[in-house]
């Protein structure tokens, strides 16, 4: 993302302490605003957000940032909040004051109903946040700790997400061509195509016809059904 620089060195301004995660510099949390409608952001007297966000040190040179990657819910207590449009997507931007807590609890909130909404947003609808990197496999890594953070057994999901990410990532100048077919490319060359997009999401007529059954197929791929019962993911998806 132009204007920002991903840098793991900015983690030196973050410190785990008893009671949460503290910052020694003023920073911002960037998270997709439409996560609120999916239950991945809860605004109220207490604010909770899913751990899929960027911490941006916007007052520092180069605007360095680091990425949080977890399906757990975290409580935050920002100094202020606003909505910004970045690459045609709305983001909630929470400002965290210098020498205060970015995350206000050292206890994560485990909730099994966060898997499908995130999968729907990122894979079905292709709403990949600006701070996620295809080259760094950020979307896949989001699900690596999903069992620990959601309480659901979804061992096979990371490999499925890796496949879906490869299908979604296209050359923005020719969306019928997968980005992996280019020898040299940057994140700015990528367009993430929604899997539900029957025009760009598939490349021939047979796939366009069978694509109507895509949601059922993806649910079957990520759901464990060892006892013949409807899984939690399926119940949430069909609610």
pLDDT the model gives residue 208: 47
Q: Which of 79, 93, 98 is nearest to 23 (CA)?
A: 98
pLDDT confidence of 210, banded at 50, 70, 90? very low
pLDDT digits (tens, 9 = 90+) for 20-35: 999 999 999 999 999 9
Task: Classify residue 220 as left (phi > 0), alpha (psi -120 to 50) or beta.
Answer: alpha
Question: Does the CA dihedral 72-107-41-239 come out positive or negative?
Answer: positive
Task: Classify residue 46 as left (phi > 0), alpha (psi -120 to 50) or beta.
Answer: beta
Cα–Cα distances in angstroms (integers) from residue 108 to residues 19, 41, 93, 174, 199, in the given order: 11, 14, 21, 42, 40
**Bigger pLDDT: 205 or 47?**
47
pLDDT digits (tens, 9 = 90+) for 78-105: 999 999 999 889 999 999 999 999 999 7
| DSSP helix/strand/coil, 152 | coil
Going by their DSSP bridges, the two strands 5-6 and 64-76 should be labelled as parallel
What is the average per-residue pLDDT within 59-65?
94
What is the average per-residue pLDDT within 183-211?
67
If you average pLDDT over every residue of the chain, what do you get? 80
């Amino acid at each position: 993302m132009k204007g920002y620089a991903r840098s793991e060195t900015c983690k030196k301004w973050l410190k785990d302490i008893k009671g949460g995660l503290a910052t020694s510099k003023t920073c911002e949390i960037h998270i997709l605003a439409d996560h609120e409608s999916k239950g991945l952001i809860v605004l109220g007297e207490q604010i909770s957000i899913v751990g899929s966000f960027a911490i941006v040190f916007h007052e520092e040179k180069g605007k360095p940032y680091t990425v949080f990657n977890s399906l757990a819910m975290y409580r935050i207590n920002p100094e202020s909040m606003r909505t910004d449009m970045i690459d045609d997507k709305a983001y909630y931007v929470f400002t965290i004051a210098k020498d205060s807590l970015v995350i206000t609890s050292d206890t994560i909130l485990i909730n099994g109903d966060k898997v499908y909404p995130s999968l729907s947003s990122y894979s079905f609808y292709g709403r990949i946040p600006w701070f996620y990197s295809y080259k760094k496999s950020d979307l896949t890594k989001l699900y690596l700790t999903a069992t620990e953070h959601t309480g659901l057994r979804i061992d096979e999901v990371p490999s499925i997400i890796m496949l879906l990410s490869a299908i979604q990532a296209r050359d923005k100048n020719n969306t019928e061509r997968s980005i992996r077919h280019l020898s040299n490319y940057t994140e700015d060359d990528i367009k993430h195509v929604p899997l539900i997009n029957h025009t760009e999401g598939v490349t021939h007529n047979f796939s366009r016809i069978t694509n109507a059954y895509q949601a059922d197929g993806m649910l079957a791929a990520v759901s464990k059904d060892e006892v013949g019962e409807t899984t939690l993911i399926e119940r949430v998806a069909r609610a």
